[in-house]
Amino acid sequence: MLIISSFFISFILKKNDMTQSIEIYDAFDTYSEITVISDKDAEDILIKCRDYLKEKDMRWSVTKPESEISALNYNAGKCPVSLSPDTIDILEKSLEYSSLTNGAFDITIRPICDIWDNAEKTGIIPTENEIKTVLPDIGYKYLSVNPQKLSAELKKSSAGVLLGAIAKGYATDEIRDILKKSDIDSALINLGGNIYAMGTQKNGTPWNIAIQDPKNSNGILGTLHVSDKAIVTSGSYIRYFENNGNIYHHIIDPKSGYPAKSGLLSVTIISSDATLADAISTSCFVMGFYESLALLDKTNVSGIFVTDDKKVYYSDNLENSFSHNNPEYQYILF
């Protein structure tokens, strides 16, 4: 095992026979791990993946003032900004998902997220009036992207974007492509819980991906047995704060400005496209189970929905690949 660290550990490389992995601590404000199964030395490939993630983080972070997304937000209402082709691409995809979900997915949610982040820090919950005042600043119609000129513009000075609901999914797809180009056929990519299971395990069987019980951090709902699939979960248990006995989670309904109350505890989306899975899982969490059914059909993805009355609805095409075993829940195929 080789450990590389500076002032704080930024990544760790491990090698054990054909299983080689990298743990990454300094990208996207989260922990990521990429494991490849290969008989050739994959160290350079894994370092390349880590460099890729760092680069995307530098480009897309809302907290780093030098990022492209910060430039776009800073120049809101002023002028278009020049952006890298991949930033243009993720912005265009975001707009596409906004229109597909009737605005349930909306990266211009940032001004409202700022209010809730502030509430978490100060312990002061915003009034309904404060929320209402900021709601007109939310709207994907304010974002205009020009792929020919490689530029984008926010047309309203109080508007702002953030890519938290899609960036990790997008990066997952790109890591998969980097690995494929490097002749890696089997790998497990985990970017802060956005999973891509590529090929098979060392013994040739599909990967086993546990789905967390949203009510119990030590428990699972079941296990997916998958190959060449992204598995992305959005849930109220993932990021939240408590105030006066109330839970405020991080997935916001752009129509109300409040944490989405759609009767769901979590949504897991399974698709070969991780970008799509990330955007759709956030959208479904906002929309609720019944409202999401048409969207699943339209985008050809499978889903596992956990409702707050402890039901687990899962797509019928998962019947043979989702083994479930939690007696606390009632499992229903749809």
Q: Determine whether 100 is exposed, middle or buried from the number of CB atoms within 10 Å of its CB (0-12, 13-18, 19+).
A: middle
- Minimum CB separation of residue 324 from Mg ion in Å reads 23
Output the residue with the shortest Cβ distance to ligand AMP: 164
286 binds, among Mg ion, ligand AMP, none (CB under 5 to 8 A by kind): ligand AMP
Residues 306-325 within binding reach of Mg ion (CB under 5 A)? none
CA-based nearest residue to 83, from 143, 145, 142 = 145
Element (H, E) at 60: helix 43-60
- Cα–Cα separations (whole angstroms), residue 23 to 26, 35, 111, 178: 10, 9, 32, 17
**Considering CB distances under 5 to 8 angstroms, the limit depending on partner class, which of ligand AMP, Mg ion, none binds residue 251?**
ligand AMP
Instruction: Pick the binder of ligand AMP from 250, 265, 273, 318 (CB under 6 A).
Output: 250
Residues of this chain, 269-308, that bind Mg ion according to CB under 5 A: 278, 282
Least gap, CB of 249 to ligand AMP (angstroms): 9
* Between 15 and 156, CB nearer to ligand AMP: 156
For ligand AMP, the binding residues in 19-38 under the rule CB under 6 A are: none
Kindly state whether residue 234 participates in binding ligand AMP, applying the rule CB under 6 A. yes
The residues in 163-192 that bind Mg ion, with binding defined as CB under 5 A, are: 165
- Smallest separation (angstroms) from ligand AMP to the CB of 251: 5
Q: 126 or 164: whose CB is closer to ligand AMP?
A: 164
User: 87 or 234: whose CB is closer to ligand AMP?
Assistant: 234
Given 45, 88, 162, 269, the residue binding ligand AMP (CB under 6 A): 162
β partners of residue 294: none
> Taking Cα atoms as reference points, which of 284, 322, 308, 325 lies closest to residue 215?
308
The minimum distance between CB 57 and ligand AMP, in angstroms, equals: 14
Element (H, E) at 169: helix 167-181
Residues 41-60 that bind ligand AMP (CB under 6 A): none
* Burial group, residue 305, by CB count within 10 angstroms (0-12, 13-18, 19+): buried
- Print the binding letters for residues 265-294 with ligand AMP: x by CB under 6 A, - otherwise: -------------x--xx---x--------
User: CB-based contacts of 107: which residues, under 8 Å, 6+ apart?
Assistant: 91, 94, 98, 140, 143, 161, 162, 163, 165, 166
Q: What are 23's strand-pairing partners?
A: 12, 33
CB atoms within 10 A of CB 116: 21
**Which of 68/106 has CB closer to ligand AMP?**
106
Contacts of 303 (CB under 8 A, 6+ apart): 267, 268, 269, 270, 284, 292, 296, 313, 314, 315
Helix, strand, coil share of the chain (percent; to 5): 35, 30, 35
Q: Give contact residues for Mg ion (rule: CB under 5 A).
A: 165, 278, 282
Q: Give contact residues for ligand AMP (rule: CB under 6 A).
A: 105-107, 109, 113, 162, 164-165, 234, 239, 250-252, 254, 278, 281-282, 286
